[in-house]
Structure formats: structure tokens, C-alpha cells
């Protein structure tokens, strides 16, 4: 973390534990309680390098993940009737 300011909106970054969506080689996994820096204005999330590395490691080991969640995945431009 080079500064505690958001590079997009200059908002203040605060450390929070978040449910993050992590994309890895076209796969998407969700990781709970990841320590992230979250902008209090625009909500942009950043991860420190060691945290990011760990997220990658978790993604690489996704075959070992026991818990799966399912949720409705909708497209914003889906037809509403
Ligand atoms: Zn921001």
C-alpha cells in the first residue's frame, strides 16, 4: 500500500474484512474475510501484495474448497416481463 488514498477518487482507504470475488484464469471464486483496503467513497478494493498472493494460492487450490454457495446470477439487461 503506497498511500492511504484511493487512486481513483482520493477517498480514504480503510482496512476491512470483505467477501471478495476473485477471478483467476477465467474462474471466479468467492473468498470470505479477506483483509482488503476499501475506499470509503467509491468502494474500490485493494489487496496488499502478500494478501493477493494468498488469494491466488487459494484459487489454485480451489479443488480442495469444501464449501460452495449458489446464488442467482442475473444479467442486468435481462428481459423483464
Ligand atoms: Zn475511491
User: Ligand 1: distance of its center to the CA of 59 in Å?
Assistant: 26
Write down the CATH number for the domain with range 13-64: 3.10.20
76 pLDDT band (50/70/90 cuts)?
Answer: confident
Domain regions of the chain by residue span = 13-64
Using one digit for the tens of pLDDT, what is the confidence trace for 8-40?
999 999 999 999 988 888 888 889 999 999 999
User: Ligand 1: distance of its center to the CA of 28 in Å?
Assistant: 23
2 pLDDT band (50/70/90 cuts)?
Answer: low
DSSP string, 1-63: ---SB-TTT-PBEEEEEEEEEEEETTEEEEEEEEEEEEETTT--EE--HHHHHHHHHHHHTGG
Higher pLDDT, 67 or 39: 39
User: Ligand 1: distance of its center to the CA of 15 in Å?
Assistant: 13
Q: Give the global pTM.
A: 0.71
- The predicted pLDDT at position 11 comes to 96
Tell me 4's DSSP state: S
d(C-alpha 19, C-alpha 52), whole Å: 14
Amino acid at each position: 500500500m503506497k498511500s492511504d488514498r484511493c487512486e481513483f477518487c482520493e477517498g480514504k482507504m480503510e482496512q476491512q474484512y470483505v467477501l471478495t470475488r476473485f477471478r483467476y484464469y477465467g474462474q471466479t471464486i468467492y473468498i470470505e474475510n479477506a483483509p482488503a483496503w476499501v475506499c470509503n467513497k467509491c468502494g474500490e478494493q485493494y489487496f496488499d501484495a502478500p494478501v493477493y498472493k494468498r488469494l491466488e494460492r487459494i484459487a489454485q487450490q480451489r479443488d480442495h474448497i469444501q464449501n460452495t454457495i449458489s446464488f442467482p446470477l442475473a444479467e442486468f439487461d435481462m428481459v423483464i416481463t
